[in-house]
Structure 1
Amino acid sequence: MTESDTLADTRRTPSAADLRTALEDATLRARDLAKSLGVTEADLVAAQVGHGATRIPADPNRLMPAIRSLGEVMALTRNESAVNERTGTYDDWHPGDHAAMILGPEIDLRIFPKHWVHGFALRNDSGKGPARGLQIFDASGEAIHKVYSQDGTDLDAWDRAVEGLATGDTRDTLTLDPAPVAEGVRSRPEKAEALRAEWSRMTDTHQFLRVVSKMKMNRLGAYRIAGAPFATALPPTALNDALIACGNGAVPIMLFVGNRGCIQIHSGPIDTLKEVGPWQNVLDPRFNLHLRLDHVAEVWLVEKPTKRGASLSIEAFTETGELILQLFGMRSSAVDHSAAFRTMTEALPRL
C-alpha cells in the first residue's frame, strides 16, 4: 500500500454537520467549495435539509407548472466552463418523456428528464443573495438546472409551491452514482466520405447527431474529419473574438449552454462584455454569460444544410472534447441563417 493510499483510507468523509459548518464560513462559491471538500454540490445542498432546504421532486412535469406561477425568476444552466443566466418567466411548457421544452420569449430550455434526479428548494433569510432557490441535480450530484428568485418574484406563491411540492423526506445525505466518464472524441476517418455525403443531404440541424451516431462518431469527432465547408477549425481565441464582434456590431445571437440534462438558450443581442481573469462575462440586465476562456481548446465554424438555408454556428470544446457552448446568428421562423452573423464569421482567423 502506498503512502497516498494510506492517506485516502484515513481521510474522513465530511458529515452533513461538517458541510453545514463549512457553508457558514465559506467564501467560495458552492461549486468550488464542494470540490475543495471532496464532495458534490448536491451533497452540500442535501446537508441543508431541515436548515433552509427542502426536498422536492426533480420531475419537470411537476416543477415547470409550479415555476410558472412564481412570476419573474432567474434561470441558470451551466457546465464546467460556461454559465448561462437568464431572467424571465417559464412560459409555453411542452412536456415529453425523452425531451421537453420551455419556449418562452426569454427563458428557452431543452430538458432531458431522465437526468433530473435530485431536487431541492432553498430558502435564504440572511439578506445576502437570492431569497429563494430551486436546484436540480443528476444521479451523480452534478448541477443540472437552477431557479432563483428576483425582485419581481411572488415569494408567497413560491412558498406555497414548495409546500405543495415537498416530499417529506428529511434525510440530509444523498446516495449518488459515480460521475460519468467524459466521452472524449470518437472519430472514424475511414468514414469521412460517407459522413460528407450524409451531411450534404441533411434538411434539418437536428438530423446531425443521428447521422454521426449511426457512424459510431460524436460531434467533435465528426468535425475533425469533415473538412470545409462543413467544419472549419478556428483558433481557440476566435470564440472570444466572435463574442466581442457580436457585441460591438450589435449582431443578435442564439447562445446555447448546456449539460446532459438541460440546454439553456439566450436569443438576442449582447452588449456589456467584461473580461476578469480567465472569465469573459456578458453582464446585461436580463442575461449574463460567464465563460472560462482558458478552458477553450478547440473552436469550429460549422455549416449544416436545412430546408430554410444553411445554418452556421461557432462551437467550442474543452481539451477533453466536451462541448462548452454553441453560438448561432439569430434565426427567424423563415430562415436558419443570419447574414450579419455570417459576415462576422468571415473576419475570424482560421487555423
Structure 2
Amino acid sequence: MRDRDFAGQIGISEAELIAAHCGKGVTRINAHPDVIMPVATKLGEVMALTRNLSCVHEKTGTYDNYHPGQHAAMILTEDIDLRIFPNHWQHGFAVEKETENGMRRSLQIYDAAGDAVHKIFLRDSSNLDVWQDIKSSLAMESQDQTQVVSSRIPPETPKADPSKVDVLRKEWVRMTDTHQFMRLTSKLKMNRLGAYRIAGAPFVRALRPDAIDQMLQKLQQTGTGVMVFVGNKGCIQIHSGWIKTLRPMGPWQNVMDPGFNLHLRLDHIAEVWAVDKPTQRGPAISVEAFDKHGALIFQVFGVGKEGRDSRAEWREIVNDLDSLHMEAVS
C-alpha cells in the first residue's frame, strides 16, 4: 500500500507517517524551495511528482533554471516545469525505502496539514554519489519522530455574483494574458469556478464529465501537443508534449508515456468547462476539470506555435467535445 493510502487508512496525514520513521530511513530536512531546488539540480535525472486528491502528474528530467520568489518561484526546463508557492512548503524529508526493486530514494515536501506538495524520486541514472552529502546538508537539527499538523483547509466553494456578470464579461474580453483572470475574479469577489458558471458563451461551455476521457483519447489519436497542468496549493507541475499511451484501470485513466505519466480518477470529475481567454498571442483555449467540492483537478491547454497561444487542431478537438446540455437532450 502506498504511504498516502496507508496514512489515510489509519487516520493520520502522510507527513505524520513519514516523520514516525525519522532515524530509520528518514531524515527531516529543510523544506524551503530556495534550499531544496539548488541541491535537486545536483541529482541529475530524477522523477518529479506533483498531485492532488484526484490526479498524479509524474515527469522525468533534470532540475535547473530555478527562479526564486517570495510568493511564487519557478523551475523552467523542457521536461520539468514547476510553479512553486513557498508558503506551503512546510515539512521536508529525505526518504530511503527498501522496495522489491531495490532502494528507493526521494525528497518529499508536505504542507502544514501534512499533505504532499511535491516529491523528487531518484532513478538508477541519478547521481547517487551526492545523495549522502545532500542529506547531511539539508538535515534539520531536530529529528523528532512526531509531526504537528494543522487541520486541512477545505477547497473554496464556487463563488459567483450574477449582478456583476456584465462587468465580468466586459473585463474578460480585455484580457491580454491568462494570468490576469485570477486578478479579475478576485476583484469581483468571485473565484474561477464561480465565474465559469455565470460567464456563458462565447467565454465558456459546460462539458459532460466524460468529455475528459473523450479528449484524452482524441489527443492520443491525433498526436496533438498540449500542456497538462496538475497542482495543489504548493506546486503546479506542467507537461508540454504529447499523449501517446492510455491505459485505463478501474476508475483511473492512465497516461503511460516515456518521461510522462498521468494518473487521473475519472470518477472524481464532477464539472468540466471549455474556456476561451484572450491573450496578446491569440485565444488561450483550455479544458478544465473540477471535483464535487469545486476543487480544480487539472487543466489542459493547446501548445502554442509560431507566437500563437493555441493551434487549430486543439480548438477542433475542444469544439467536438460533448456539451453538458447534450446529455439532457439524448
TM-score normalised by structure 1 residue count: 0.91
Note the 1:120-199 alignment, pairs <5 A: 120-128=93-101, 131-199=104-172
CA RMSD, 1 decimal: 1.1
In structure 2, the residue matched to 1:64 is: 37
Change (3 A) 1:129 1:215: farther
In structure 2, the residue matched to 1:248 is: 221
Matched-pair contact (CA < 8 Å) for 1:130–1:149: no
**Distance in 2 between residues matched to 1:125 and 1:64, nearest whole Å:** 25
Q: CA deviation at 1:332?
A: 4.0
**Distance in 2 between residues matched to 1:223 and 1:333, nearest whole Å:** 29
Question: How many residue pairs align between the two structures?
Answer: 324
Matched-pair contact (CA < 8 Å) for 1:130–1:148: no
**Distance in 2 between residues matched to 1:111 and 1:98, nearest whole Å:** 8
1:113 aligns with 2:86: yes
1:337 aligns with 2:310: yes
Give the 3-state SS of the residue equivalent to 2:109 in structure 1: strand
**Distance in 2 between residues matched to 1:225 and 1:129, nearest whole Å:** 52
In structure 1, the residue matched to 2:328 is: none
Q: CA deviation at 1:343?
A: 1.2
Q: CA deviation at 1:336?
A: 0.9
Structure 1: which amino acid aligns with 2:266? L
**Distance in 2 between residues matched to 1:166 and 1:84, nearest whole Å:** 27
1:239 aligns with 2:243: no
**Distance in 2 between residues matched to 1:87 and 1:76, nearest whole Å:** 9
Structure 1: which amino acid aligns with 2:149? L
Give the 3-state SS of the residue equivalent to 2:214 in structure 1: helix
**Distance in 1 between residues matched to 2:99 and 2:202, nearest whole Å:** 54
1:280 aligns with 2:253: yes
**Distance in 1 between residues matched to 2:36 and 2:212, nearest whole Å:** 34
Note the 1:294-305 alignment, pairs <5 A: 294-305=267-278
Q: CA deviation at 1:124?
A: 2.4
TM-score normalised by structure 2 residue count: 0.96
In structure 2, the residue matched to 1:51 is: 24
Q: CA deviation at 1:338?
A: 1.5
Work out which of the residue numbers 188, 208, 214 in structure 2 matches 1:215. 188
Matched-pair contact (CA < 8 Å) for 1:130–1:150: no
| Structure 1 outlier segments of 4+, above 3 Å | 125-130
1:84 aligns with 2:57: yes
In structure 2, the residue matched to 1:100 is: 73
After TM superposition, the structure 1 stretch with the greater mean CA deviation from structure 2, 176-185 or 271-280, is 176-185
Gaps of 5+ in 2: 325-330
**Distance in 2 between residues matched to 1:275 and 1:130, nearest whole Å:** 29
Gaps of 5+ in 1: 1-27
After TM superposition, the structure 1 stretch with the greater mean CA deviation from structure 2, 320-329 or 155-164, is 155-164
Structure 2: which amino acid aligns with 1:162? K
In structure 1, the residue matched to 2:289 is: 316
Q: CA deviation at 1:333?
A: 6.6
In structure 2, the residue matched to 1:74 is: 47
Structure 1: which amino acid aligns with 2:154? V
C-alpha offsets along residues 4-31 of structure 1, whole Å, 9 cap, x if unaligned? xxxxxxxxxxxxxxxxxxxxxxxx2111
Q: CA deviation at 1:199?
A: 0.4
